[in-house]
Amino acid sequence: MLQTNQSSNDQGDLLRALNEPQRIAVTHVSGPLLVLAGAGSGKTRVITHRIANLILHEDVQPDRILAVTFTNKAAAEMRERVQRRLAGHPFNAWIGTFHSLCLRILRQDGTRIGLAEGFNIYDGDDQRALVKRILKAEGVDRSAGPPRSFLSKISRAKNGMISPAELEKQSYSPEGRQAARIYGLYEQALRRANAVDFDDLLVRTLELFREHEEVAARYASRCEYLLVDEYQDTNRPQYLLVRFLTAAHGNICVVGDEDQSIYRFRGAELRNILEFEQDHPDTTVIRLEQNYRSSDTIIRAASAVIAKNVFRKGKTLWTDNDRGDPVELFCASDDRLEAAWVSQRIQQLADSMPLEEIAVLYRTNAQSRQVEEMLRRDRVPYQIVGSVQFYERKEIKDLLAYLKLAANPSDDIAFRRVVNTPTRGIGATTLSRIDDVARGLGLPLMEAAGHALQQGLLPQRAAGRLQEFLDFVTTRMHVADDQPVADLLERLVEDLDYEEYLEKAFAGQGGDRMENVLSLISAAAEYADEVGGGDLQGFLDRSALVAGADEVGERPGVTLMTIHCAKGLEFPAVFLLGLEEELFPHAMASGSDEDIEEERRLCYVAMTRAMKRLFVSHAAVRRVQGALIPHPPSRFLSEIPTDLIQDVSPVRVPGFFDQTPLGDSGSSGGGSSAARAANRRSTAPPPVVAGPSRASDAEDGYSVGSRVIHPRFGVGQIVNREGKEKHLKLTIHFSDHGQKKILPAYTKLRVES
């Protein structure tokens, strides 16, 4: 009796700090359980307390409990918190990631599907080396793309449970069929090497379970209780693994939040959590709706945004926290002013909180450049999380190296960086001979390369490729002092076919990296505007100062990151930038309702990172590839109730263009939205300049009434023009994007014939 009372008291201690829904989730014992855990609602506490309760008060053996999550860090934290709760009680439950679980299974039973006990796991470098050998053996031309590009396609196929043969059947292009063939050869090579890659850890475990039902049954029998964290992020293989492991007992508890499902690009399937009750008809559903993180204002604002989504289970978040300050809105005339406001506001906040408690979040990596420059200018320390600083990104350093070599042919570091970037077949043997000449004659590498060609020291094929490179660089040397830097960069990107190179070299990341390149071109155009022209060396000096001053690295300071990197984190103060149509939601996400809902979930995740203060901003004009492009405020701004907003924008912000109305995407009915307030206050009307009235009036072809094709906005019609030559500014109406101001000198604009 004494022991029973003690046990009851222990359970009371275990449950005392929990709210009622949390207690129900922790003490639920039998059958499927779906815990819909809102942002900041204490889901990790529920998982760890549930494991402790099963062991301490339901007499479940620890080794019959399996808990899986997505990162090693999360798994380690979960294990540590459970062990603290058990206070010395024997503990050997399986807690880890899906990949670590599958590795453990394959180590024990992988021989049944042909894996030897000592099979190797290939990491990324091993995979690239293997594919590189296959491509070489098959005589695949380099223009087909680097190994990384093929590996990306292979990984997508594996996570989609698509075999090489199935991929070939689904392919309707030579490139697709080639990728399927390389995929098949890659799989054969892995098996010959008795190796697996990380995707195989999941897929081959499924293969084991499917081909050996007794093995699947044994693991399912052992897995009396299964807990899955972040269930909204599971992909197809993980979903199937869960089904296998719960076949015997059916005691599955999944914890997740469909409103925070933001990894569809990695294969996550939202339907896994939305359809959980269909998969498990006797499911108990518990909603954790009390938020412990954020102020009432932040919760209400974020909830109003996510409520617009249709594909969700639905939750009503609330908090006992103070109402807090309103969401602060700043409508900037351009992206540079937006960044300046962020830096200024951070300095004001620093009087009352450490910089480490402040985060700046953005939709794309390219947005960080302006903020970084302003923070450096104002000597505000910061660090980049999940990325590298703008001027340290490979694509930026490569292009700057070309400019440095054009400005200073004696720069050997720049020469080495670009001589074979993009790949042009100048190999190690050729570079070694150039090095020999440079050392022997005491010359820079650029000049030594010319000597090597004159002296016939290189094979004909290598000599031809090197001569092409030298001609490419010297052409830029001759025009470097005569062309605006933005023009020089744009021509460089075009002549290198750099966009195509990025797509092939960085599969799945080419678009983001190209956005960084366009941001660099914008930086060059801004530099020219600021100094009234400016030469190449001046721009390089400015870039070096911005990139090199006060190297903060991992030093404490403000945290800058994309929203995807911020998942699972929290900060007392959060700045959310770039709330504009075509940026957030992103232009790439405009194809379907599902795309927009994913973007809205991303916005919700960003807003709910904030604990006390939330700042949101947008720029009426953002420079894209040198062109000043206006965008209306994001539809997500229109979804925040105006009584939660404090608009701190100037009464009239100087700008270039009127905002394009959101149309049906804003809220309707009485009252004005935050987006409409932004529209009213963000810009002054543009000057009205009469343009040609007939197509024949413009010698450059950009006549009022002419139809043009823009690489991003598609087909449009010129409705006005002002200025001429490099300063020509066109007003173009695009059927899908409304009215835009375009600078033809800084973009590829084609007149329809």
What is the tens place of the pLDDT at every residue in 11-42? 677 788 899 999 999 999 999 999 999 999 99
pLDDT, residue 125, reads: 57
Residue 571 CB contacts under 8 Å (≥ 6 apart), including other chains: 357, 358, 359, 559, 609, 610, 611
State pLDDT tens for residues 723-748: 877 667 788 888 777 777 776 765 66
Q: Which positions ≥6 away from 697 have C-beta within 8 Å?
A: 703, 704
Q: Exposed, middle or buried: residue 644 (CB in 10 Å: 0-12, 13-18, 19+)?
A: buried
Active site residues: 43-44, 229-230, 260, 609
* pLDDT confidence of residue 691: 38
Q: Please identify which residue in the block is written with the tokens 């010129």.
A: 718
The domain segmentation of the chain, as residue ranges, is 2-106+205-290, 120-193, 298-387+554-681, 391-543, 695-751
**pLDDT tier, 221 (very low <50, low <70, confident <90, very high otherwise):** very high
d(CA 118, CA 168): 32
Neighbours of 191 (CB within 10 A): 13
Give the pLDDT mean for 410-414: 74
Q: Which residue has the tokens 């922790």?
A: 26
Query: What is the rounded CA–CA span in Å between residue 122 and residue 430?
Result: 31
Query: Among candidates 52, 39, 44, which has minimal Cα distance to 22?
Result: 44
3-state secondary structure 183-200: HHHHHHHHHHCCEECHHH
Q: Which two tokens stand for residue 620?
A: 């009426």
Rounded-to-integer distance, Cα 555 and Cα 434, Å? 40
What's the pLDDT band for 206 if we cut at 50, 70, 90? Answer: very high
Phi, psi of 693 (to 5 degrees): -95, -15
Angle of helix 445-454 relative to helix 460-479, nearest 10 degrees, comes to 130
- Cα–Cα distance between 315 and 412 in angstroms, integer? 60
Structure tokens at 610: 């904030």
The residue length of the chain stands at: 753
Q: Does domain 695-751 have CATH number 3.40.930.10?
A: no
Distance CA 411, CA 414 (A): 6
> With a threshold of 0.75, does the pTM exceed it?
no
Q: Name which CATH class applies to 2-106+205-290.
A: alpha beta
Give the Å distances, CA to CA, from 437 to 413, 444, 465, 499: 17, 9, 18, 34
Highest mean pLDDT: which of 187-196, 497-506, 669-678?
497-506
| Among the ranges given (24-33, 248-257, 450-459, 644-653), the one the predictor scored with the smallest mean pLDDT | 644-653
Domain 298-387+554-681: give its CATH code. Answer: 3.40.50.300
Question: For 662-679, what is the mean pLDDT?
Answer: 42
H/E stretch holding 643: none
- Pairwise CA distance, residues 136 & 644, whole Å: 61
Q: What CATH fold (topology level) applies to the domain 391-543?
A: PCRA; domain 4 (1.10.486)
Segment among 106-110, 615-619, 669-673 with least mean pLDDT = 669-673
The mean pLDDT of 420-449, rounded to a whole number, is: 86
Sequence-ordered list of residues with C-beta below 8 angstroms from that of 428, at least 6 positions apart, any chain: none
Strand partners, 583: 586
Write the CA distances from 311 to 13, 595, 744, integer angstroms.
Answer: 38, 11, 41
pLDDT at residue 690 greater than cutoff 80: no
- Name the strands in the sheet holding 729-734, side by side, starting at the edge strand that comes first in the sequence: 738-742, 729-734, 714-722, 707-710, 750-751
Task: Please give the distance of CA 473 from its chain centroid, rounded to a whole number.
Answer: 34
Q: Do domains 120-193 and 391-543 have the same CATH topology?
A: no
User: Could you tell me which CATH number the domain at 120-193 has?
Assistant: 1.10.10.160
Residues 274 and 301: beta-carbon distance below 8 Å? no
The residue among 514, 38, 588 whose CA lies nearest residue 264 is 588
Give yes or no for a contact between 679 and 633, defined as CB atoms under 8 angstroms apart. Answer: yes
Name which of 358-372, 455-469, 661-675 the model is least confident about: 661-675
% of residues, the chain, pLDDT over 90: 46
In the structure, what pLDDT confidence band is assigned to residue 532 with cuts at 50, 70 and 90? confident
- Check residue 374 and give its pLDDT: 94
pLDDT in tens, 293-322: 999 999 999 999 999 999 999 899 999 999
Mean pLDDT calculated for residue range 425-451: 86
Residues 454-480, mean pLDDT to the nearest whole number: 88
Question: How high is the mean pLDDT of the chain?
Answer: 84
Q: What are the tokens at 294?
A: 């954020």
Task: Looking at mean pLDDT, say which of 131-135, 253-257, 266-270, 430-434 comes out highest.
Answer: 253-257
